[in-house]
Structure 1
Amino acid sequence: VALHGLRMAVGAIVMFGTATRWTFQFADDLPRYRYARLRWEQHDGMPSSRWWMKQHHDILGQGLANCFMLAIPCAVACHDARDVASAVEVLGWLLWMAAWVFENIADGQKQLFLWESAKAGHSTAVLGYHPYDGRRYSLWTLCRHPNYFAEWVCWVGLCLAAAPSLVEGDGESAQVRLVFGASLLYLPRVMYDCLVWWTGAGPAEHFSVTKRAAYREYQTKTRCFWPIELPVDHMRIAGWPDVNVVAAKATRSPPEKAK
């Protein structure tokens, strides 16, 4: 767990530090807030004068999620007094470990892309799209956000590892078990929505579409979140997540077929 949190903390410090020349003073909002403002004002009709309120609501919501929802798996696991881990717990930790390694590889490939594309002067290049779709960038050819997928799997693994502690632990009422059990089931869904729509893929692709001409074609050929073909919507839509593009696709086109 310490590795998971430390990785995110160090990554944030390095990313924000290099972006601001280590002053940590931003000239503008982070991309996810700029995207959220466009969505709330232009699509949902929120007055511009209320944006500050919505922005603080968003920040407080993230703080609540970090302090409460995301702490539940570890809180449940730490309450377990058993000396021997069950097979399900071991499976959960192995799943977390595999996803953690996968995420680090994906981020390493992304960093390599940033170095190589900058060296070649390809300011509008797309990771996972020719010529940056070779073996060294393989995870980004499976889906457009392999790092977000791996982050989600990490949390699935943590929830799975915590489940036996909730089932086999002593001294808790049925009501407490029900609340924490529902939280463990709900957490992967919360993380999926966050990583796809809230702070992850959606904001990132909104700006990639406007900055990189080839990104639209990359969107039509590559799955968004899942690295394997599943019977779900993979958002293979040029211009996603623009709400007008998505709405037009939903009303005028048949369901997406697996490719």
Structure 2
Amino acid sequence: MNLGMQLLLIWAFAVVLMLLGWQWQRRRSNAGIVDVLWAFGLACSALWLALSGSGALTARALVGGLAAAWGLRLAWHLWRRVRSEAEDGRYLALRQYWHGDQRKFLAFFQFQALLVVLFSLPLAAVVAHPDPSPLQLAGAAALWLFSVLGESLADAQLARFRANPANRGRTCDRGLWRYSRHPNYFFEWLHWCAWAVAALGGPLVWLGLLGPVLMYLFLRFISGIPFTEQQALRTRGDDYREYQRRTPMFFPWFPKP
């Protein structure tokens, strides 16, 4: 199956998925479900690309196994938060800014369907690789494992900090959060670097390299860090400003004294 047809079917699936998610948030006033469905949509996309791809079996197995596992882990982690907590402050601010206009929320959800297709491109580059070397795939798998373990650890450390009532209104600066204000985002970005490595030497290598570039731009300038930090400043004020002063934003490094 050619790439265009693969992506068209992914988009059609994502459109339906996000339409159902939009209906869910209408009933519950919680747009955080969009993040769950984005991760789940990419997991399903990885499985579909692995089954319909034309490249080496090893490359397709890597995507079908590891990329799907990454998406399902992230979706499950986000779902546990969405189902048990109030709407994330970022989406609550958006709801207030849009005055609850459901037409804008529908457009927002469908934009996320397009992002599922966009971030499927690096995976499509891997499943089209006709002959990746075993060393190359082993390196990609090692980078994937390191990134997923790092993101899981960051998520667990933040969840444990937030679960303690004594930390209410305070900023988590423990563990990985001592060295980066967004270690979960950093490891999320690193995950996409694994697919760039796996796509090297293939006919669609440029799509593989697109993954870490796009993810960095989205996290750093569009939908990740800017919204997260605005919300943190609204809720934690000077405590977060001090955290900003001493802690690197994205790439982990030692904090300032």
- Kindly state the Cα deviation for residue 70 of structure 1 after the two structures are TM-superposed: 1.7
1:152 aligns with 2:189: yes
Kept in 2: contact 1:197–1:203 (CA 8 A)? no
- State the structure with more CA Rg: 1
* Unpaired runs of at least 5, structure 2: 1-66
Kept in 2: contact 1:69–1:183 (CA 8 A)? no
Superposed, 1:157-172 pairs within 5 Å as 157-164=194-201, 166=202
What is aligned with 2:241?
Answer: 216
What is aligned with 1:186?
Answer: 210
- Kindly state the Cα deviation for residue 181 of structure 1 after the two structures are TM-superposed: 3.2
AA in 2 matched with 1:107: D
- Kindly state the Cα deviation for residue 124 of structure 1 after the two structures are TM-superposed: 0.8
What is aligned with 1:249?
Answer: none
- Kindly state the Cα deviation for residue 187 of structure 1 after the two structures are TM-superposed: 2.2
AA in 2 matched with 1:193: L
CA distance in 2, matches of 1:196, 1:18: 28
Instruction: Please give the root-mean-square deviation of Cα atoms over the aligned residues, in Å.
Output: 2.9
1:17 aligns with 2:83: yes
Please give the secondary structure, in 2, of the residue aligned with 1:125.
Answer: coil
What is aligned with 1:101?
Answer: 149
- Kindly state the Cα deviation for residue 34 of structure 1 after the two structures are TM-superposed: 5.0
Please give the secondary structure, in 1, of the residue aligned with 2:77.
Answer: helix
* Aligned with residue 114 of structure 1, among 129, 146, 162: 162
What is aligned with 1:4?
Answer: 70
- Kindly state the Cα deviation for residue 52 of structure 1 after the two structures are TM-superposed: 5.8
Q: Percent identity?
A: 26
Kept in 1: contact 2:161–2:172 (CA 8 A)? yes
Please give the secondary structure, in 1, of the residue aligned with 2:172.
Answer: coil
- Kindly state the Cα deviation for residue 76 of structure 1 after the two structures are TM-superposed: 2.6
In structure 2, relative to structure 1, the CA distance for the partners of 1:211 and 1:33 (3 Å cut) is: closer
- Kindly state the Cα deviation for residue 35 of structure 1 after the two structures are TM-superposed: 5.1
1:61 aligns with 2:111: yes
- Kindly state the Cα deviation for residue 226 of structure 1 after the two structures are TM-superposed: 0.8
* Aligned with residue 140 of structure 1, among 177, 187, 208: 177
- Kindly state the Cα deviation for residue 143 of structure 1 after the two structures are TM-superposed: 0.7
What is aligned with 2:41?
Answer: none
* Unpaired runs of at least 5, structure 1: 21-25, 42-47, 129-136, 167-176, 230-235, 237-257
TM-score by length of structure 1 reads 0.63
- Kindly state the Cα deviation for residue 216 of structure 1 after the two structures are TM-superposed: 0.7
* Aligned with residue 226 of structure 2, among 184, 202, 214: 202
In structure 2, relative to structure 1, the CA distance for the partners of 1:224 and 1:105 (3 Å cut) is: same
Kept in 1: contact 2:123–2:208 (CA 8 A)? no
Count residues with an aligned counterpart.
Answer: 190
